[in-house]
Copies of this chain bind each other. A is one copy, B any other.
């Protein structure tokens, strides 16, 4: 418990969290501070490229691990199963319609790559190593949740737009999956030598870019809260904090069954606990246009993301250290 608290304190007072807080505060105070869309997109491409590349290099360094395949499969399985749990929870905790509940559930099965990035940076500053292929697991967990959620709807007889091939391709080849997997492959192929060539681009400035990116995330989350908080009833709000803990627990069990390192277990928890706010919302607009975007965006970005960033990550890392660190 002490470790959790001290880790949480260190985390809360780090430049990246404070930058996020600054963004939220500026948005709530209705400042006109804003980061141009193109710049924010550019930073997210940088972060994805860097995290993927470094993951690939780490795999090249440590050789391929027998657990890679099983971790990927476990990730896909978790991503597919978490929406069912989330849906059930929502039925109990809230009075959202089936449609809205399924849309929300899809988000919690999928993952937030920025939460993942923030967690790796906490691990790094704590000197905890993690399997490099966790970025591949992250990529694998993006999409299955969407299929689960659509299945939930079609089972309920609602007239969901059927998963057309275009949508399927959009989901599987969405930009962040392709960039993550692609840069992972490049890092793997070029290894330490490749890293040496671009290290001063993707390693040294990484934390700083993450600060500015989280500033933007804070602005967006804050604006979302200002406009969308009205739609979040207490039950839904509570779900936004309970569900990450449920997800993290499942991630913990999975990571330990797979026999991952402390860092790997912590990242599995983070992935399971985090909720998508890029790929899944876009898919939902196409497949379930009648579901209310305010609900799932505000919940995922305004509640769960800040929770994970501030309290969740320290908790997951501490628990992983305590239980898997044996």
Contact = CB atoms under 8 A, between A and B. Distances in A.
B36 A190 contact: no
Given A13-B190, A208-B198, A175 B32 contact: yes
Nearest to A25: B182
A2 interface: no
B194 A31 contact: no
Contacts of A34: 175
Q: Per DSSP, are chain A's interface residues mostly helix, strand or loop, or mixed?
A: helix
A35 interface: yes
Contacts of A173: 26, 29-33
Interface stretch (A37-45, A81-89, A127-135, A232-240): A37-45
B14 A190 contact: yes
Contacts of A45: 35, 39, 212
B201 A18 contact: no
A179 B35 CA distance: 11
A67 B267 CA distance: 47
A209 interface: yes
Interface in A1-40: 13-15, 18-19, 22, 25-26, 29-39
Interface residues of A, number: 54
A34 B190 CA distance: 23
A49 interface: yes
Nearest to A194: B15
Contact of A38 (B32, B39, B206): B39
Give the top 7 A-B pairs by smallest Cβ distance, nearest first: A201-B208, A33-B175, A200-B204, A39-B42, A36-B38, A31-B173, A198-B208
Interface of A: 13-15, 18-19, 22, 25-26, 29-39, 41-42, 45-46, 49, 53, 125, 169-170, 173-175, 178-179, 182-183, 185-186, 189-190, 194, 197-198, 200-202, 204-209, 211-212, 215
Given A22-B178, A35-B45, A49-B212, 10 more contacts: A14-B197, A19-B183, A22-B179, A22-B185, A22-B186, A26-B178, A33-B174, A33-B178, A201-B208, A201-B211
